[in-house]
Structure 1
Amino acid sequence: MRIDIITVLPELLKSPFEASILKRAIEAGLVEVYFHNLRDYTTDNYKTVDDYQFGGGAGMVMMVEPIDKCITKLKSEREYEEVIYMTPDGETLTQGIANQLSLKENIIILCGHYKGVDQRVRDHFITREISIGDYVLSGGELGAAVLCDAVIRLIPGVLGNETSALTDSFQDNLLAPPIYTRPRNYKGWRVPEVLFSGNFPEIEKWREEKAYEHTKKRRPDLLND
């Protein structure tokens, strides 16, 4: 998989990809991540990427021309299955969306900034708009990092245990069940005996029941889906 991220603040985005799972995935050649500074596609000496909005109103708007030049250059080099715009009014990121995107070969992620982007960008370049929640950040960079993490960890070979991602919360519209590790008894707080039974069908049944109970208590809306 190749991910091209278009941003006005590449330095804000790089650190999550220089540690932990994301770094290992890149070093193993399982994913390629490239950062494109939108200011490199401007034509004036000030490297301007934003301007006042027509009709008046507060807040600056990212201009269409630098974004057009950047996306057009990338598309001239390869085919992209998705051009994603990170925006608060996009569809909310879910595990299902992460699953879908993990199967793609090449995607572009455009990070919004200021008041947003010229609507013509959304009309003519963007294939999908994604939000990480009902709140507003100062830019789309942090949202892009969240999206990349959610997607990259699903690529085969990224996680040490191939089945780990399949048992995450939301994969089957259920939250994950309780999990335990050593010591078996801590301050009188005991690990459920079924987990030591060696009866794996019973253990799986227990986990499914607990996952359902956990979901019903905390996120009953998932059961409706």
Structure 2
Amino acid sequence: MTWRAAVITLYPEMFPGPLGVSLAGRALADGVWALSTVALRDFGIGRHRAVDDTPAGGGPGMVLRVDVLARAVDAARSAHPGLPVIAMTPRGPRATQARVRALAAGPGAILLCGRFEGMDERIFAARAVEPLCVADIVLSGGEVAAIALLDACVRLLPGVMGAAPSGVEESFETGLLEYPHYTRPLSFEGHGIPEVLRSGNHAQIEAWRRARAESDTRAWRPDLWEAHLRQMPPSAPQPEGAAASEQVRGEKR
């Protein structure tokens, strides 16, 4: 069954954009997934199709109106029944690879793109809309975030990636960052490839990759490392560096 995506946006011309090339573009052309847009302006108010108004309580900027948003969501749901509606907003919880996998395993998604100062909060009470943030940054609108989320989902669809393990041995899949990669040339400006990767000993290579995934996660993403330690059963042997993390926690306390 074709995985379906619909994007509610003020700028439908931004799609498919990057999703029309490379893996996602080929999958779109082959019918692995389908993409449509819902123009938010079509549901605007009055002769000028207004979609926003000044924020209650004062302040800069404009806010997308809840009645406009609700009509657009209702229309998208009517055209694509059964799809979850996800609002791209920095006020939502941060997206995870687990959430992406769950979406990719479903029938698709309707993505609601914010603009200006954001959306009237009442849309989340009036309609079943899930807020989601792709990163702890603020963008000009939700379209770029929607493209990122769709790309993350589409690449996981069956047949999109050439090698199935490509979607498994990656950052976040096991709670850790992925190990580093190397290729030719063997030496570049005095920097070589780790000897173990040229040894042909697959057990040693796997151990090295696991150790680097752990050490890099601990160094670059301590939040992921702490979560990884918490998820380990008490009887499991501590991963490399776990004792150091415990010592750091003790110092912080």
Q: Which moved more, 1:26-35 or 1:75-84?
A: 75-84
- Give, in angstroms, the shift of residue 63 of structure 1: 1.6
Question: What SS does the corresponding residue of 2:36 show, helix, strand or coil?
Answer: strand
- Indicate the residue corresponding to 1:119 in structure 2: 121
Q: Note the aligned Cα RMSD (angstroms).
A: 1.9
In structure 1, which of residues 11, 17, 33 is the aligned counterpart of residue 13 of structure 2? 11
Q: Which moved more, 1:76-85 or 1:158-167?
A: 76-85
User: With CA pairs under 8 Å and 6+ residues apart, which has the higher RCO, 1 or 2?
Assistant: 1
Q: Distance in 2 between matches of 1:43 and 1:58?
A: 21
Q: Distance in 2 between matches of 1:43 and 1:190?
A: 63
Q: Distance in 1 between matches of 2:104 and 2:142?
A: 20
- Indicate the residue corresponding to 1:131 in structure 2: 133
- Indicate the residue corresponding to 2:84 in structure 1: 82
TM-score, normalised via structure 1 length: 0.91
Q: Distance in 2 between matches of 1:117 and 1:143?
A: 15
Deviations 1:108-160 (A, max 9, x none): 11001112222221212243111122332221111111111122112221112
In structure 2, which of residues 127, 141, 144 is the aligned counterpart of residue 142 of structure 1? 144
Whether the 8 Å CA contact 2:77–2:83 is kept in 1: the answer is: no
Alpha carbons of structure 1 residues 106 and 151: separation in structure 2 relative to 1, 3 Å: closer
Whether the 8 Å CA contact 2:38–2:76 is kept in 1: the answer is: no
- Give, in angstroms, the shift of residue 204 of structure 1: 1.3
Matches within 5 A, 1:99-114: 99-114=101-116
2:43 is equivalent to residue 35 of structure 1: no
Deviations 1:51-98 (A, max 9, x none): 223443332121223322222223223423421011111101222222
Q: Distance in 1 between matches of 2:196 and 2:187?
A: 14
TM-score, normalised via structure 2 length: 0.81
- Indicate the residue corresponding to 1:202 in structure 2: 204
In structure 2, which of residues 78, 87, 94 is the aligned counterpart of residue 92 of structure 1? 94
- Give, in angstroms, the shift of residue 172 of structure 1: 0.7
**Structure 2 alignment gaps of length 5 or more:** 228-253
- Indicate the residue corresponding to 1:191 in structure 2: 193
Question: What SS does the corresponding residue of 2:46 show, helix, strand or coil?
Answer: coil
Q: Distance in 2 between matches of 1:55 and 1:214?
A: 46
2:194 is equivalent to residue 218 of structure 1: no
Deviations 1:168-212 (A, max 9, x none): 111111111121111223444322232233332222122111111
Number of positions where the alignment pairs a residue of Structure 1 with one of Structure 2 = 225
Q: Distance in 2 between matches of 1:111 and 1:59?
A: 17
2:144 is equivalent to residue 152 of structure 1: no
Q: Distance in 1 between matches of 2:212 and 2:171?
A: 12
